[in-house]
Structure 1
Amino acid sequence: MSTLSPPPLSPPTAPAPTPTPAPAPSGGSRPVLTVLRYVGLAAIVLFCLAPFYWMAVSSLRRTSDIFDMSLWPSPLSLENYRAVFRGNQNFDQALLNSTIVAGTTTVLSLLFATFTAYALARLEFRFKRLILTLIVASTMFPVVAIVVPLLQVFTDIGWINTYQAMIAPSMSFALPLAVWLLTAFFRQMPAELEHAAMVDGCTRGQAFRKVIIPLAAPGIFTTAILVFICAWNEFLIAVSMANDPDVETAPVAISKFTGAVEFETPFGSQMAAGVLVTIPLVILVLVFQRRIVAGLTAGSSK
């Protein structure tokens, strides 16, 4: 009668080594990093805002104190602001002209760029990438390269000293910028949005108007602000196409400021005019701040 032998015992396995946690940063280094972070942010803010602060401070100095290097004017004076709207400066009309030119450029650029960007983002056709590359490349041409040919063309058709002579060239740079920004924004929006709207009975156009446009509002507002700033600050085209004080824009009017004495540069008046030109842009950014931030961060997370 055979007996069953017990199976051989296996040697015990050693327990897996426990991973050692990474050393945590010492408590003393965290305050140092925090301080360095805030110091870096403060340096960036100071670098960006220092010119605007000095412009505002200089605009509040008296003409005799314009070269004073103090950080705050003493005494405060509004004579530079009075000088901007006094005499033959015609600065109020220049501000109105800038509003008309920049506003019209922005509206027309957004109107054409929205449809163009949506087509480039949604439709599939040959040479689409090449077309988008050419659109972006058109913004790289220097303005001075097109001013002389356009000046000759506009002189022949009688457009000199007109708003359209400044709007059309400005659109040649604002429109590609708007198309590029909106194309990237529309690409981030899922195509299922239009499909769901079309299943519910909408046509392609209705889905674009009722679904896509409201959702694309942050990107459209961001693009509008950037285009408006570019058109508002444009100088070379405006100074080349208009020499009539009733048509010239604010940057051109500031460059033509004259002092009370011959050969005198009115630094104080120019600083005050610079503040007045900057205020509309600051108000515009503050009013639409949330939409701008939402447009710039759209698509960063799903």
Structure 2
Amino acid sequence: MEEQTHENLSPAQRVGRAAALGALVVGGFFPFVWMVLTSLKTEGELQKFPVQYLPSKLDFSNYARVFSEQPFAQFFFNSLAVSLLSTLLCIVAAVPAAYALARLNLRGRGLLLTAVVAFSMFPVVSLLIPLFRLMRGAELLNTYPALILPYAALSLPIGILTLVAFFSAIPRDLEAAAMVDGTTRVGALTRVVLPLSMPGVVTAALLVFVNSWNEFLLALSFNTKLSMRTVSVGVTLYQGEFAFPWPLIAAAVVVATVPLVLLIAIFQKRFVSGLTAGGVKA
């Protein structure tokens, strides 16, 4: 059907579609490409006028400085640990919650979904002080749980809403057949529903991971020790009071972005199909 539609397009329409797609690709990738080019320049090249778009030579010294001037490897490990664990915790909590909302005849189901959506709209800054007092009271400041627990809780609504759409679209007959064969409700979830909803699980996990990796305010406020900083906060440590070494900062940003690029590249098919299917089924 798609091929037939494409064949029916006139040459002008094909050129217009190609131009639109090209503009989207350039607009999406240009900031990252510009950041990479900036990271390969010197301060002198960056300040030239007119603008010098390409570096005169490939100089990777800024990347070496990223790891020598700050413990960026530790920042990277901290972000990786926090993001992975918060994603795992969030998905483990979101799966049964979403399954209950999608499958069980819960009283006030619509109200519960409304509450989930409302919670997702809370700005993080409005929760900063109560969360800080909670973490300080629990003596969790400057620890991984200080970030893992809030990240998982704040990302839980998007995980639940994403999975509810997928669970609702799976025919109930498949679960009923499995339960007739002796499988429990939990077994039907793990053996039937989850495998069929894997694109949705991957989509939810990627969204949670990206949110956790990029989060700045809580990481800045809860973990103040240098050894506990994450990459989002660590990038800001390269600027001075009167100096902004943009090539060095750009190199740090590129290093911090690499895991996200790799994840999207690896799970691209599942992520795109998850977003598309979730949007249609919801």
- The alignment's TM-score, normalised by the length of structure 1, stands at 0.85
**What TM-score does the superposition give when structure 2 sets the normalisation length?**
0.91
Give CA deviations for 1:236-255 in whole Å, capped at 9, x if unaligned: 11001111011110010111
Given residue 53 of structure 2, which amino acid in structure 1 is its aligned partner? L
Aligned pairs (5 A) from 1:8-87:
30-68=10-48, 69-87=51-69
| Structure 2 counterpart of 1:162, from 134, 143, 149 | 143
User: Is there any run of 5+ residues in structure 1 with no aligned partner, and where?
Assistant: 1-28
Deviation at 1:173, TM superposition (A): 1.6
Assess if the C-alpha contact under 8 Å between 2:125 and 2:217 holds in 1.
yes
CA distance in 1, matches of 2:56, 2:202: 41
Deviation, structure 1 residue 136: 1.1
C-alpha distance in structure 2 between counterparts of 1:179 and 1:45, whole Å: 30
CA distance in 2, matches of 1:107, 1:156: 25
Which has the greater radius of gyration?
A: 1
State, as a whole percentage, how many aligned pairs show the same letter. 41
Mapped partners of 1:243, 1:115: distance in 2 = 35
Q: Which residue of 2 aligns with 1:289?
A: 268
CA root-mean-square deviation: 1.8
| Cα distance, 1:44 vs structure 2 | 1.5
Structure 1 residue 203: deviation in Å? 2.1
Q: Which amino acid aligns with 2:156?
A: L
Q: Which amino acid aligns with 2:136?
A: T
Q: In the alignment, is residue 224 of structure 1 matched against residue 205 of structure 2?
A: yes
Determine the C-alpha separation between the residues in 1 that align with 2:137 and 2:84. 26
- Report how many aligned residue pairs link the two structures: 271
Alignment partners' CA distance in 2, 1:296 and 1:153: 35
8 A contact 1:62–1:79 mirrored in 2: no
Q: Distance in 1 between matches of 2:63 and 2:140?
A: 33
Partner of 2:4: none
Supply the distance in 2 between the matched residues of 1:131 and 1:153 (Cα, whole angstroms): 25
- Deviations 1:4-50, CA, capped at 9 Å, x for gaps: xxxxxxxxxxxxxxxxxxxxxxxxx8111111111111111111111
Larger relative helix fraction? 2
Give the counterpart of 1:189 among 170, 185, 192: 170
Instruction: Give the partner amino acid of 1:74.
Output: S
Report 1:1-302 matches (<5 A). Answer: 30-68=10-48, 69-87=51-69, 89-258=70-239, 263-298=242-277, 300=280
1:108-134 per-residue CA deviation (whole Å, 9 max, x = no partner) reads 000000000000000012111101110
8 Å Cα contact 2:46/2:52 also seen in 1: no
1:192-216 superposed Cα distances (whole Å, 9 cap, x missing partner): 1101112223222222211111111
Contact 2:83–2:213 (CA under 8 A) maintained in structure 1: yes
The answer to whether the 8 A contact 2:35-2:250 is kept is yes
Q: Which residue of 2 aligns with 1:11?
A: none
Moved over 4 A (4+): none
Deviation string, structure 1 residues 153-182 (Cα, Å, up to 9, x no partner): 222332211111111221222111101110
Alpha-carbon shift at residue 67 of structure 1 (Å): 3.0
Deviations 1:58-95 (A, max 9, x none): 001123222342332112211110110113x1100000
Larger RCO of the pair (alpha carbons < 8 Å, separation 6+): 2
The one-letter amino acid paired with 2:185 is R
Retained in 1: the 8 A contact 2:135–2:146? yes
Find the aligned partners of 1:223 and 1:231 in 2 and give their Cα distance: 12
Amino acid in structure 2 at the alignment position of 1:81:
Y
* Partner SS, residue 85 of structure 1: helix
For the 8 Å contact 1:161–1:241, the answer to whether it is kept is: yes
- Provide the C-alpha distance between the structure 2 equivalents of 1:191 and 1:175, rounded to a whole number of angstroms: 25
